[in-house]
Each structure stands twice: as C-alpha cells, then as structure tokens.
Amino acid sequence: MTNRWLPRPERTLPTPRKPIADVYDAAYSGVPNWDIGRPQQAFVHLQEAGRIESPVLDVGCGTGELALYLASHGHRVLGIDLASNAIRQAKLKARWRRIPAQFLVWDAVDLGRLAEAGLSVRTVVDSAMFHILGDTERGRFVHGLESVIEPGGLYCLLGDARRDPRDSYGITPRELRDRFADGWTVEFVYETIFERRYSANPAYLAGIRRPIDS
C-alpha cells in the first residue's frame, strides 16, 4: 500500500471540538455501547455488492473496525475520529492484525482542511457519525465532503432513524435529500438497523453521489 494519496497532517493540525472530544475520549476509555467489535452489517453488504471504491475515508471511525474490514479487502483507507483514545486503539488493532489501514485524530467537520493537505477519495463511509451532529455542523460537514470526494464519488452513511421530528438527533430520507439538493444524487436510502452491543435501533443506509461535473 502506498501512502502517497494520504495528507500530510503535520502541515495543518486539527483542533477537535471541545468538550465533545473529551466526552468521546472518556467513552473510549471503556467499551462504548456502539462499539460492537466488527463492522455494521449494512457496510459489509455494500462491500460485497461492490459499491465501495478506493481510496476510502472513514469519518468518525471509532476504534477502526469498519476501516480495518475495508482495508483487509484491498482498499486504501484512512480513518479519522476526534477521540484520541479511539484512534490509539485503532492503530493498535491495525498493527496487531497487520492490516495497512491509516488512522488520524481529526474532526470530521474540518474535512476542508484535509483537502488542503492533499486528501482526495472516491468513497466516504460514515457509520453513525452524521446522525449525532447539530444543524450547523451538518452544514459544515456537507460542505467539506465536496472538497474531499472526487467528482462521481460516493458518500455512504448509516444513521439512526429520527424518532422525534423536533429533535436534531438521527436522520430522515427527506433531510438527506434536502441537505444534498445542490447537484448531488441520492442513489439509495434503505431501512435497516444500527447494531449496538446490547440492542439495535431502526436506521437508514444511504448512498449519495457527488456530481461528475462539479
């Protein structure tokens, strides 16, 4: 695996949001409920269907199970997370399993700075990151996607279905179409589940394509 496609983070260091970074660092001092020790089945199905193309950026990668799974299937993968504890564990897993995935402490709402550092990918995978963001952060994230996904590339996200329309947590198919109305194509939105260690929630799996001519 060549690292020439990877950014040079030492040239543009991130500033993770606080106190949210501290909250997730504390969660990863143990084993959070959403860390099931394997990739979500929804993404396994996408990989088996041939919908994932390299290079891949895994946003909110946690301890790296999805990134490691994709890298073990031949993809070039960079996983980012604002929790340094999670990234430390992901790097250890990669080393012990001898899987060439790369990991970086980075805030996903700062994707534009990764693009400035040289990152360009065909696929962005998002296993339950977007669905926790607030309205302003979602806007920043979508804007950042435009800078790192190559024209024609795909954003694949899995998130809890929104239960209360007054709540910002979770996602809906309508919101995704509204958020990506400016030239993007929502190729699919499937009802599925998001697995946790002791439960499973109704969720959506979506694939959103960046326009080729953008």
Q: Is residue 44 part of a domain?
A: yes
Least Cα distance to 47 among 75, 26, 78, 19 occurs for 75
Angle 84-97/20-27 helices, nearest 10 degrees?
40
Q: Where are the alpha helices (DSSP H) in the chain?
A: 20-27, 41-48, 65-72, 84-97, 111-116, 135-148, 173-179
Least Cα distance to 175 among 214, 130, 128, 108 occurs for 130
Q: Show the domain range for 67.
A: 38-200
pLDDT digits (tens, 9 = 90+) for 156-199: 999 999 988 778 899 999 999 999 998 999 999 999 999 999 99
Given a cut of 60, is residue 14 above it in pLDDT?
Answer: no
Q: Is residue 212 part of a domain?
A: no
Q: Is residue 162 part of a domain?
A: yes
**What is d(CA 37, CA 47) in angstroms, rounded to the nearest whole number?**
18
Beta bridge partners of 188: 207
Q: Is residue 7 part of a domain?
A: no
Question: What is the CATH classification number for the domain harbouring 99?
Answer: 3.40.50.150
**What is d(CA 86, CA 28) in angstroms, rounded to the nearest whole number?**
6
Q: How many domains does the chain contain in total?
A: 1
pLDDT at 70: 98
- Alpha-carbon Rg of the chain, whole angstroms? 16
**Mode of pairing for the β-strands spanning 56-59 and 77-81:** parallel
In this prediction, residues 107-117 reach a mean pLDDT of: 92
Q: Is residue 149 part of a domain?
A: yes
pLDDT at 12: 46
Q: Is residue 69 part of a domain?
A: yes
Q: Is residue 62 part of a domain?
A: yes
Q: Is residue 5 part of a domain?
A: no
3-state secondary structure 87-124: HHHHHHHHHHHCCCCEEEECCHHHHHHHHHCCCCEEEE
pLDDT classification of 6: cutoffs 50, 70, 90: low
pLDDT at 166: 77
Residue of higher predicted confidence among 105 and 20: 105
Q: In what order do the strands lie in the sheet with 185-195?
A: 102-105, 77-81, 56-59, 121-127, 149-160, 200-209, 185-195
Q: What are phi and psi of 93, to 5 degrees?
A: -60, -45
